[in-house]
Each structure stands twice: as structure tokens, then as C-alpha cells.
Amino acid sequence: MVSLFGQESVSSDDVVVSSDAATRTLSVVSVETGFVRRVYERISSVYDLIYGWTLHPGRLQTIKRLSIDTDDEVLEVGVGNGINALLYPPDCHVTGIDLSHSMLEGAQRRLDRHGVSNVRLKQMDATNLRFADDSFDLVYAPYVISVVSDPVAVVKEMHRVCRPGGRIIVLNHFLSEHKVLGRIERLLSPLTVHVGFKADLDLPAFLAQAELDPISIEKVNIPRIWSLVTFVKH
């Protein structure tokens, strides 16, 4: 397949039809970690234009919902070029990770430009977090679960590094429950991966396979096709 940025290889599979969400295919498209890294290296310079202001209302709404306390340890999975990093209160401690070196460079420039000192950045694969169990009070993945090669592995890692009683928050677009829109998203997903996301990630299947029960699911942004999903680690 020819991408918007040149030749890349992406495998596309038929959707497994099943009434059991635990065995359904998450997306028609599967991507490898190396592919994801290359895509974000390519779009790092234009990320703000593509995903900046259009998705910002969801970021602002989520920060309010996080209710971050003084001295909370926060992990942001997929910090990108640091748009979210400017929104945290200054009295918490934030670790932002990303797979892309170029995105992290952009994030550091943004933090330096705005004098943000409570955010540290690390290059890391979200499917294999290099943190001890129970390290963070809050683990937040904004607009990243549909990007990664293995969404279930990522959210399980997020759960592992979250402290008991802490919260895991996923902000993302998921496959529409509307039949026609869902079919369109299935058709578009092999294309949208080339600009950084799968358009058809199946939320019920994702939750069932991750074996996590959310305490809330809230629609954000306009149009309201993005979901803010919150879990608590027991």
C-alpha cells in the first residue's frame, strides 16, 4: 500500500465475526511498533496542525476530570510533542513517555519555551513500560491507544504501573456503534494508520480482552466521536 508519506507495509485482516467481544478482532488493521515509530517521526513537524486545536477540547475536559492532587505522580503514555504537558498543575510530578524521538524533541522544546519544570520525558515503548509496579497515582493515555501495535498490552502495562486506588484514563476514538459509520471507519482504517491512528478500534472488544471494567465512559470533543474512559485499580 502507498501511504501519504511513501511506501510502508501494513497488514490488513478480515474482521472476525463473533458475538463474544473477548474474541473479536480489535481492528481490521495490525501494525508493528517500528511502523508506528516511523509514522510519528514523519508527522512530528505537522502534528499540531493535524491534531492540535481539533482535539484540544477533549484534552481540556480530561484535565478537569483528572482532579490531580498535590504531589500526585502522573504518567502520560504517548506524550507526543507535549501539548498535554502544558496543562498539568505545577504541584504534581509528571513523567511523559513516547516512542518517537522527534516527538520528544518537540515536547522538550515546548516545555523549555513555557518554563515547565515538573514534567520529565523518556523515550519508551508503551507495551513494555520500564517502571516498577504501583509507581503512579494516575496513568493517562491521550489519543494513543488506537496508535499502538497492541492496545491490550499497553493498557495492561498502564494498570500494572498504577498504584492500588489510582486511576487509569484512556482518551480515544473508538469504532462507532452506528452500523453505517462503523463500516466507513472499517474501510478508512487501512488509510488512517498512515497519519497515526486506527479508525476502527472496537471498544467493547478492547475492554473485554484487557479484562478491565470502566467506572465511566464519557463522550468529548465536537463531534462527540471520542471517548474518555476511566478505570480504577483495585
Can you say whether the dihedral through the CA atoms of 89, 41, 98, 13 is positive or negative? positive
pTM tops 0.95, yes or no: no
As a whole number of angstroms, the distance between CA 106 and CA 123 comes to 13
In whole angstroms, give the CA distance from residue 121 to residue 51.
Answer: 20
Name the residue type at position 185: E
**pLDDT tens per residue across span 82-102:** 999 999 999 999 999 999 999
pLDDT of residue 11: 45
User: Pairing between strand 226-232 and 162-173?
Assistant: antiparallel
Spatial distance between the Cα atoms of 135 and 112, rounded to a whole number of angstroms: 26
Output the pLDDT for position 234.
93
Return all residues near 24 (Cβ < 8 A) that are at least 6 apart: 15, 16, 18, 202, 204, 205, 208
Contact 228, 65 (CB under 8 A): yes
Report the pLDDT value the prediction gives residue 210, as an integer from 0 to 100. 95
Distance separating alpha carbons of residues 153 and 104, to the nearest angstrom = 22
User: Over the chain, what is the mean pLDDT?
Assistant: 90
Q: In terms of Cα–Cα distance, which of 179, 171, 175 is closest to 219?
A: 171
Cis peptide bond upstream of 89, omega within 30:
no
Element (H, E) at 204: helix 203-210
Whether the pLDDT of residue 222 is over 60: the answer is: yes
Sorting pLDDT into bands at 50, 70 and 90, what band is 26?
very high
Q: What is the CA radius of gyration of the chain?
A: 17
Tally the residues of the chain.
234
Domains of the chain: 2-232 (3.40.50.150)
Mean pLDDT over 204-224 rounds to 94
